[in-house]
Amino acid sequence: MSVTSSTIEAASAVQPRVARILCTDLAGLRAQALGLAEAAGLRPTFHALQPHFPWSRLSPSLWPRPLAAVQQEAITPPFGDVLIGAGGAAARVCAALRSPALPAVIIQHPRMALSKFDLVLAARHDGISGPNVIVTRTALHRVTPARLNAERAIWTPVFAALPRPLVAVLIGGSNGRYRLETDFAARLAEQLAGLIKSGQAGIMLTPSRRTAPAVIEILRGRLAPLGAYIWDMQGDNPYFGMLACADAIIATADSVSMVSEAVATAVPVYLLRLPGRSARIGAFMDALVADGRVRDFTGRLGMWPVEPMDDTPMAGFELRRRLGFE
């Protein structure tokens, strides 16, 4: 059976269900959990997990009593029909809350016994399998055709003056595995400036909360005078509008979630590889290159035929089917 939004909507209209979303309040985790719930036709209620001291300083794998390690608001009933967690802290909490009447679904490798969950949503680079494991090629997300259409209608007038092809540049930032510093920003700024000056592309660029101010200033200082759109982190966030309006996307390769959202569109995606190393994230990016869905950016822009890569609808359908929510 092909999985479409109408398939899920029909099922959820017959039997609406509520999902308690649990994760630490990180954008990537939140987007994955909400995206899964929405794809399954569930009504999500989000509750951020906030660990108490001293547990906030320790890995969740070291919490002897997970329900005592977090503020109680997030774990106060009623919980709804299903728990959906994302990340390590949520794995410990959801496993502790799970009961025969309250199934628990965890997103990402939980780093504990898979049998403690009714369903585990794992990306292929996590390298796990089992009867209760659903494997996806990318991270789950909230990028849907309907959302892209709605955002395109809003943002097309904003970007109308920019030259075509229109390239969305998605900038992450340094984390525990990769570094995005001023020297990299300066080289990237020159490459993007070359695309603009040669008439190869119009540029719209958005930083993230992790992007260092000095990096933003380098990019803005070089590109804004050439007519590029650089989001100033004020007002409405153009991120989904950029995905919707782009003819191509260039994204830093430090975030599985951001690249997963980019490849859910119908346009070519280029990766900006940052200094540093993560075996898990690197394997994810390399697999997308092998699939032909993305290419590494070397300063030149080309187009090639692509199809959206999006396993979130399948994951939502499988959640309903396996938990008996049909």
Per-residue pLDDT tens digits for 140-184: 999 999 999 999 999 999 999 999 999 999 999 999 899 999 999
Q: Is 134 helix (H, G, I), strand (E, B) or coil?
A: strand
60, 180: one domain: no
pLDDT digits (tens, 9 = 90+) for 122-137: 999 888 999 999 999 9
Report the percentage of the chain scoring pLDDT > 70.
95
Q: Is residue 306 part of a domain?
A: no
In a domain, 305, yes or no: no
One domain for residues 286 and 150: yes
Examine the domain organization and report whether 170 and 149 are in the same domain: yes
9 pLDDT exceeds 60?
A: no
Q: Are residues 150 and 286 in the same domain?
A: yes
Structural domain count of the chain: 2
Residue 154 lies in a domain: yes
Which range marks the domain in which residue 222 is found? 145-296
Strand 229-230 relative to strand 248-252, pairing: unpaired
User: How many whole angstroms separate alpha carbon 262 and alpha carbon 200?
Assistant: 21
Q: Is residue 200 part of a domain?
A: yes
Domain-located, residue 116: yes
CA–CA separation, 225 vs 234, rounded Å? Answer: 19
pTM, rounded to two decimals: 0.91
* Triad 269, 273, 274: Cα angle to 5°: 140
- Cα distances from 113 to residues 103, 126, 318, in angstroms, run 15, 14, 21
CATH number at residue 96: 3.40.50
Burial of 253 per CB tally in 10 Å (0-12, 13-18, 19+): buried
Task: Tell whether 126 and 201 lie within a shared domain.
Answer: no
Q: What is the pLDDT of residues 89-99, one digit of tens each?
A: 999 999 999 99
Q: How far is it, in rounded angstroms, from Cα 138 to Cα 148?
A: 18
pLDDT digits (tens, 9 = 90+) for 216-231: 999 999 999 999 999 9
Residue 111 located in a structural domain: yes
Query: Are both 254 and 291 inside the same structural domain?
Result: yes
**pLDDT attached to residue 326:** 74
Same domain, 111 and 150: no
What spatial distance separates the first Cα and last Cα of the chain, rounded to whole Å? 14
Q: For 207, list phi and psi in degrees, rounded to 5.
A: -80, 180
Identify whether residues 268 and 188 lie together within a single domain.
Answer: yes
CB-facing half-sphere around the CA of 194: CA atoms within 13 A = 10
CATH, residue 292: 3.40.50.2000
What's 60's DSSP letter? Answer: G
d(C-alpha 198, C-alpha 1), whole Å? 47
- Angstrom distance (rounded) from CA 158 to CA 164: 14
Looking at the fold, whether 129 and 151 belong to one and the same domain comes out as no
pLDDT for 5 beyond 80: no
> Is residue 88 located within the same domain as residue 186?
no
Residue 183 sits in the same domain as residue 158: yes
Q: How many contiguous H segments (helices) and E segments (strands) does the chain have?
A: 11, 12
Q: What count of Cα atoms within 13 Å lies in the side-chain half-sphere of residue 14?
A: 10
- Mean predicted confidence (pLDDT) in 61-80: 96
CB 28 within 8 A of CB 22: no
What are the structure tokens assigned to 268, written together? 């070519």
Asked whether the predicted pLDDT for residue 255 surpasses 80, the reply is: yes
Q: What is the pLDDT of residues 16-48, one digit of tens each?
A: 799 999 999 998 899 999 999 999 999 999 999
CA proximity to 200, closest of 322, 302, 314, 323: 302
DSSP state of 34: H
Number of residues in the chain: 326
**Position 210 in a domain:** yes
Tokens encoding 216: 């933003």
Q: Are residues 291 and 165 in the same domain?
A: yes
**Domain-embedded: residue 307:** no
**Mean pLDDT estimate for the chain:** 94
User: Do the beta carbons of residue 263 and residue 309 sit within 8 Å?
Assistant: yes
Structure confidence by residue, pLDDT tens digits, 268-315? 999 999 999 999 999 999 999 999 999 999 999 999 999 999 999 999
Tokens of 133: 């494991």
